Chain A
Amino acid sequence: MNDLIGVIVVLIIMTNFLLLAAGSLRASVRIISLQGLALGVLPLCVHQGGLTIRLLFIAVLVIILKGLVFPRLLMRSLRESGSARAITFYVGPIASLLIGIFVLGSSLWWGYVLPLPEATPYSLAIPMVFFTIVTGLFLIVSRRQALMQIVGYLALENGIYAFGVFFAQSESMLIELGILLDVFVGVFIMGVMVFHISREFDNIETSQLSTLRDWIHSRNDAAAKKDGR
């Protein structure tokens, strides 16, 4: 079993690098769905008390949601927005990859020094979790399109979910379902908002979303005075 977990953990780390390097929106959505699939299989391997119906149910649900439903949703809003297929960057893919390597390195160091309340046999688990979380946060701030921010949010959520799989197995099923429901509704609403953004601005660049600030009215007031209103 441990070998399989190792494979999945490495797979998730690889998907993070792919996300950082990706140049097209479609590819990013595919990669995040792959990451979701890997994550869905993870609890089946990590379980300690044997394979229960509950575990199987959650795993199937996660695979369906993260592997199939979310990518569908994102692909649909990508199609409907009819916007450019290429990612526009604040921080380019090469620099992103270098940052990714640095983050993975420091995550490994963190995983080494962090005192865990319970010993875990999977030495790469903690670094993988941190790396995925930071990748998600980094994608949110370093890519310009709203869709990529959703992808970043999903990666962040995946990382947190992975932590839960490794270290908080005792969470009850109702809570897990609640969390999944929240994430689902969240991604759904974000997808709808992306559609509205594309309709409003003809693209999904978040740099458009920067008119609200504190001193904007001074300009309006000046204009109003000039017009003699």
Chain B
Amino acid sequence: MMALALVLIPILAGLVSFATRSNHLRRAILVGIAVVHAALTAATWIVRPQAALGGWLQLDSLGLVFLSVISALFLSTSIYAVAYLAKEQTSSRPDFEESFLFVNEPEAVFVGCLLLFLGTMTLVTVSHNFGLLWVAVEATTLSSAPLIYFHRHHRSLEATWKYLLICSVGIALALLGTFFLASAATTQTGHSIPLVLGDLITNAGSLHVPWLKVAFLFMLVGYGTKMGLAPLHSWLPDAHSEAPSVVSALLSGALLNCAFLGILRIGQVLTASGAAEFANGLLLVFGLISVVLATVFIVDQLDFKRMLAYSSIEHMGIMAVGVGLGGLGSFGALLHTVNHSLTKAMLFLVAGNILGHYRTKSTKLITGMFGDLPASGILWMAGFLAITGTPPFGLFQSELAILRAAFDGGRYFVAIVLLLALGTIFVGMAAIVTRMLQGRPREGAMAHSTSEAAASIIPPAVLCFAVLVLGIYIPSALNDLLLEAAKLLGGHL
């Protein structure tokens, strides 16, 4: 029941907000639902909910890791979003890059879609039926597309169209993969195993392995498109740079993970049927390509939101590599998921502050942030250190775990590529970030609204603090949960 409630409450609230007229009431609903969702998620840490709908909805430890991340991010971004929406002009206004006039999407659509987005992402984390999982992942695409088109102008239109089309086509291939899985689950006698994770794993011996592999390949390509694995990532930088920063934070921190979870689920079936080698090899290849490609685009990147977007591709690649390595790598990948989501959401929220103040996304035009925006400046610096895996932040721990798994497993090539890429990205991002932070503010640059609102500083600050804590001390409850989840992925530590 609990799992069902977690999914249905945000969806119903989303539908209500479409019909709500008062802006204040709608914003109250947004934060209220975020709090309720977080509270329910916290409750599931204490009492794991029963399976519902005949085992279709089930919250296992793997799902709980992803659900917790989504819930925490949504809570912090919803508070930020309320402040953001209050500041947004509703009448038409000039675009800051090309100075044509545009208007925003109605706020009812925006808030409603945010809540639907939360509901559908929750559904992804609790789905144990592969058909339902597909429906949920596609639903996240559909509910988030209007969010990217919040500022109605030609650039966001382009980003939304690419997102919608590329992800829908990609995910359609995942549906084909799901059907392949269904035919792999049909035994010679004509008896078919239901597409429920538990049933597939217990009957893994009687699955048709070649078809299972084809199913994995299609689902990897399908969900991988959405996850942003190179070379299927082409929608990602555009969508992240044109969406409002609140939405970018959720896309990067929560949505990409959902697609990753889809890949992990089919990976579980492959592992159970003894084809783990095949799955892991593919994950390693896609992961390394992503990391290398992201490195190329991060260095000397001219748009700081695109820089963060490519950094997401990099980290998705690292996670794929971690799972591909198995064992300690799986544990590291899951820890990395948590760390990356918190850090990246925080960075996008700070990027929103920067964009709001300087009205440009160009990394070349911004200098002297420490003087103009001291709080955001410090958070930007901390976020940069965290995302590049500098100790004592959490990402250092998780990247170390993945690298150790590579060295222990004798995968020296993987380890060296990762180390080289991480080093290059550190230098590349450092050049951009320090240039933005230091120096004198540009002459005549923005005398307006210099005060930084608490609601736009506290959410990213809290996230940043969480990543810092995770780097120093992983609470035993989280550690146990991650270990249990890594075991589900076939990682025996």
Interface residues of A (CB under 8 A from B): 115-118, 133, 137, 140, 146, 149, 153, 156-157, 160, 163-164, 167-168, 170-172, 174-175, 178-179, 181-182, 185-186, 189-190, 193, 196-197, 200-201, 206, 208-212, 214-218, 220-221, 224
Contacts and interface: CB of A to CB of B under 8 A. Distances in A.
6 contacts: A117-B184, A160-B179, A185-B139, A185-B142, A189-B145, A212-B238
Nearest to B141: A186
Contacts of B169: 137, 140, 153, 156
A186 B176 contact: no
B134 A179 contact: yes
Nearest to B143: A185
A141 B155 CA distance: 20
Contacts of B134: 179
A150 to B, nearest CB: 8
A153 B169 CA distance: 7
B212 to A, nearest CB: 10
B190 to A, nearest CB: 7
B152 A186 contact: no
Size category of the B interface is 35 or more
Contacts of A214: 237, 297, 301-303, 306
B208 interface: yes
Contacts of B176: 133, 160, 163
Given A182-B138, A221-B364, A156 B155 contact: no
Contacts of B302: 214-215, 217-218, 221
A174 B161 CA distance: 29
A117 B183 contact: yes
Given A172-B131, A175-B129, A178-B132, 11 more contacts: A133-B176, A164-B182, A171-B182, A174-B132, A179-B134, A182-B142, A209-B162, A212-B242, A217-B361, A220-B97, A221-B365
Interface in B163-220: 164-165, 168-169, 172, 175-176, 178-179, 182-184, 186, 188, 190, 192, 194-195, 208, 210-211
B353 interface: no
Contacts of A221: 302, 362, 364-365
A227 to B, nearest CB: 12
B312 interface: no
Contacts of B241: 212
| 9 closest Cβ pairs, A-B complex | A175-B131, A168-B182, A178-B135, A209-B158, A217-B302, A117-B208, A182-B138, A170-B192, A212-B238
B425 interface: no
A210 B132 CA distance: 34
A196 B172 CA distance: 24
A83 to B, nearest CB: 15
Contacts of A160: 172, 175-176, 179
B157 interface: yes
Nearest to A177: B135
Contacts of B97: 220
A218 B162 CA distance: 23
A179 B158 contact: no
A216 B206 CA distance: 54
A164 B152 CA distance: 38
Interface of B: 97, 129, 131-132, 134-135, 138-139, 141-142, 145-146, 149, 152-155, 157-162, 164-165, 168-169, 172, 175-176, 178-179, 182-184, 186, 188, 190, 192, 194-195, 208, 210-211, 237-238, 241-242, 297, 301-303, 306, 361-362, 364-365
B179 A164 contact: yes
Nearest to B132: A175
B146 A116 contact: no
A218 B364 CA distance: 9
A176 B132 CA distance: 9
Contacts of B211: 117
Nearest to B306: A214
Contact of A186 (B157, B168, B186, B306): B168
A178 B131 contact: yes
A201 B306 CA distance: 25
A170 B146 CA distance: 34
Nearest to A192: B146
Contacts of B192: 170
B131 A167 contact: no
A212 B158 contact: yes
B159 A167 contact: no
Contact of A153 (B162, B172, B179, B303): B172
B154 A167 contact: no
A21 B26 CA distance: 50
Nearest to A181: B135
A165 to B, nearest CB: 10
Contact of A201 (B154, B194, B364): B154
Contact of A193 (B135, B157, B186, B195): B157
B60 to A, nearest CB: 20
Contacts of A163: 176, 179
Contacts of B184: 117
A160 B241 CA distance: 32
A168 B297 contact: no
A117 B302 CA distance: 51
B164 A193 contact: yes
B221 to A, nearest CB: 12
Contacts of A168: 178-179, 182-183
B138 A167 contact: no
Nearest to A118: B186
Nearest to B187: A117
A197 B132 contact: no
Contacts of B132: 174-175, 178
B175 to A, nearest CB: 5
A175 B132 CA distance: 6
A197 B160 CA distance: 11
Contacts of A189: 142, 145-146, 164
B154 A193 contact: no
Given A133-B176, A178-B131, A212 B155 contact: yes
Contacts of B160: 193
B129 A217 contact: no
B362 A217 contact: yes
Given A193-B164, A214-B237, A221-B362, A175 B135 contact: yes
Contacts of B158: 208-212
